[in-house]
Amino acid sequence: MGQVWWSESRPHEAGRTQIVRRPVVGDARAVDVLPDGFGARSRAHEYGGGAWWVTDGALVFTNAEDQALWLLPLGPAGAPVGAPERCSPPPPVGTAHRYTDARPTGDPRWWVCVREVADTAGERDELVAVRVVPGDAARAPVALWSGADFVSNPRPGPGAEGGPAPLCWLSWDLPHMPWESTTLWVAGLDHDPADGAPRLADPEPVMGASVGGAVDGVGESLAQPGWLPDGRLAVVSDADNWWNLWVFPDPGRPAARTATQWTHVAGELAPPQWVFGQTTWAVTEGGDLVGSWRADGNDHLGVLPAGEDEIVWVHSGHTAVEGLATSGTTVALTAGSYASEPTVSVVGIDDLVAGARAGTHVAVDVRRPARVLGGGLGPAWWSWPEAISVPAEGGGRTHALVYRPINPDVPVAERGSRPPLLVLIHGGPTAAARPQLNLAVQFWTTRGWAVADVNYRGSVGFGRRYREQLAGGWGVVDVADCVSVARHLADEGVVDAGRMAIRGGSAGGFTTLAALVSSDVFSAGVSLYGIADLELLAAETHRFESGYNDWLLGPLATAADVWADRSPINHVGRITSPLLVLHGAEDAVVPPSQAELIVAALRERGVPVGYLLFEGEQHGFRQADTLLQALRAEAFFLGTVLGLPGADADVHGGAGPPVVIDNLAGIDPQR
């Protein structure tokens, strides 16, 4: 019987990522796979992803603690046989070797993967092959390729009779990010007759920055390459403004610049490659393409049946779809909506196509159901957003998802006509508001807040040209769009113009600080692991994003004045609104020094400020206690400084305020 596998973040287990399996059909319960002491999480490029892969007989995963590649042998029914075994040897120091994105080669004893290395020779990415044999001692990986700053998506293709199988992968070089300029490579992959060790033959770029042509160079982002059942290579490209699927015409190793566009959708088939292992398209053994396109802020599931030219759109009720995979004629997917957290489901391809063509709702078989809908909570509690588009400063439009306050236990008459507004700023900044049930959003709407989740210019899901409007304009364009959305809602009478706050994490924290510096629209702000000093960030941040600011601001060597002018720390004297700062003590992306600079400056100036530093947390909070403490601190802080009733209602157990607010005496209690 087939199994469906997925991973779950477990905040109550200190943020451990567990792998879970359940039969595709039947009533058998889901089973945790990894034993105590193991978690599947890679920290390659700091953001990780692609930390596990399963085939018949083997689960291979990156263990969170040591970043090594481990093997867990599996029995015929998918159950583990024995304990995990380490496949990669210890690095020279700590976690200097980080493994990710592994796939089996034609020889099941060897897997190809990405290894991020930090040693005396510097930091770099490599394609390596790791021997994965139960009972064998870990041995040194075989180096295959290291011709670029960054590598991802090694995907072995089907073998050709009498010759090596093809291998494809992506690469990119600093200062570019993978959503700016990438290259697709292919090579022959065969094995040494003596021990089966993989060898590469004749690596060649076939699409993207390293290949000449009208759409190549800095202007094409490639993502998620993969081999079709008939042996052809396909890859997602944004050469036509939208991330769509392109395909090379012939099976086997493709020739350079011969790919043609397969899908033509005004939507994004791929998200930006912040993490490894993303899968938003898949093809069944019969050649049916299943994909998830982001358009107008939501995901749309579509099927392109084999041999046809028109996509049929699936009515499933989902607004967020990812994690697509196929086996035979079965499709597995992770999908959610604004009324449901993501679930893991399976559905037959014939049912998908039939329902789509009939225009009827397509039911999926949920294997991992939603969990937060228990305990007395249900869709009546969830605020479903309205997608709005408002004029942007300087021309064009900007977009947002607007959530109205909702709480079944509070009559409408008691809610007040104009609620306070919380403007949410997503991280990235090359990212987007998540189109699914967001418990952090509902935390606020059930407490009487309106929430605007802004997809400012530069966000994904609206095409490359919209994305590129942030180039050189970070700290100006994003701030202007957040202000435009807030003012629009206030002018329309939707929210109280005197009680509008702004909140963001990482790059969203920077936008929050920049908005408080340059605008008087917001009466308070919350910055989570945000950036205060851009030049200091350039000196301290990690390798993956070390050239990102060149695109967002301009190269430091020639645009130092821009960097200085956009850094909130250099204009702290303009911040008069109260600010709460939350940060992880082990953050390597935005070091805690960034938080401490802005907090110290505000304390000295007498501006109301709160600060919490969470031990054991990195860039983004994962532990249950941290998540709860942070939300309670935010609710208490914003309620207190904005003079909202019941500001202390979320203080746990009456144990006192969850955060100390310095300089609180300056707040008008009647505000």
Residue in the block written with tokens 């897997």: 111
Q: 565 pLDDT band (50/70/90 cuts)? A: very high
What was the pLDDT predicted at 409? 82
Residue 214 pLDDT > 50: no
3-state secondary structure of 608: coil
pTM value?
0.91
Q: In whole angstroms, what is the distance from residue 528 CA to residue 630 CA? A: 9
Say how many residues make up the chain: 671
119-136 pLDDT, tens digit each: 877 889 999 999 999 988
What was the pLDDT predicted at 611? 96
Q: In whole angstroms, what is the distance from residue 621 CA to residue 95 CA? A: 21
Contact 293, 314 (CB under 8 A): no
What was the pLDDT predicted at 73? 94
Q: Is the dihedral of CA 89, 91, 92, 97 positive or negative?
A: positive
What was the pLDDT predicted at 217? 47
What was the pLDDT predicted at 120? 77
Contact 398, 389 (CB under 8 A): yes
Percent of the chain with pLDDT strictly greater than 70: 94
Q: Where on the phi/psi map is residue 270: left (φ > 0), alpha (ψ -120 to 50), or beta?
A: beta
What was the pLDDT predicted at 163? 64
Nearest to 509 by CA among 439, 592, 435: 592
More confident residue, 666 or 388: 388
Q: 671 pLDDT band (50/70/90 cuts)? A: very low
Residue 216 pLDDT > 70: no
Out of 267-271, 327-331, 529-533, 654-658, give the one with best mean pLDDT: 267-271
Q: 588 pLDDT band (50/70/90 cuts)? A: confident
Nearest to 279 by CA among 321, 316, 241, 311: 321
Q: In whole angstroms, what is the distance from residue 332 CA to residue 347 CA? A: 7
More confident residue, 297 or 526: 526
What was the pLDDT predicted at 648? 66
Angle between helices 477-491 and 507-518 (to 10 degrees): 70
347-390 pLDDT, tens digit each: 999 999 999 899 899 988 889 887 765 456 677 888 999 999 99
Residue 591 pLDDT > 90: no
The domain segmentation of the chain, as residue ranges, is 31-146, 379-666
Which residues is 299 bridged to in the sheet? 294
Residue type, 566: R
CATH of region 379-666, choose from 3.30.559.10, 3.40.50.1820, 3.60.10.10, 3.40.50.300:
3.40.50.1820
Residue 444 pLDDT > 80: yes
Question: 10 Å Cβ neighbour count for 492?
Answer: 10
In this structure, what token pair is assigned to residue 444? 């606020």
Residue type, 264: H
Report how far apart, in Å, the C-alpha atoms of 58 and of each of 159, 328, 551, 616, 646 are.
21, 19, 42, 32, 54
91-124 as b/e, with b when 16 or more CB fall inside 10 Å? beeebebbbbbbbbbbbebbbbbbbbbbeeeeeb
In this structure, what token pair is assigned to residue 400? 């947002």
Residue 176 pLDDT > 50: yes
Residue 33 pLDDT > 90: yes
DSSP summary character for residue 530: -
**Average pLDDT of the residues of the chain:** 90
72-106 pLDDT, tens digit each: 999 988 889 999 999 999 888 888 899 999 999 98
Q: Is the dihedral of CA 622, 647, 421, 340 positive or negative?
A: positive
479-516 pLDDT, tens digit each: 999 999 999 999 999 999 999 999 999 999 999 999 99
What is the dihedral angle through the alpha carbons of 469, 268, 237, 224, rounded to the nearest 10 degrees?
120
DSSP summary character for residue 136: P
Mean pLDDT of 127-155: 94
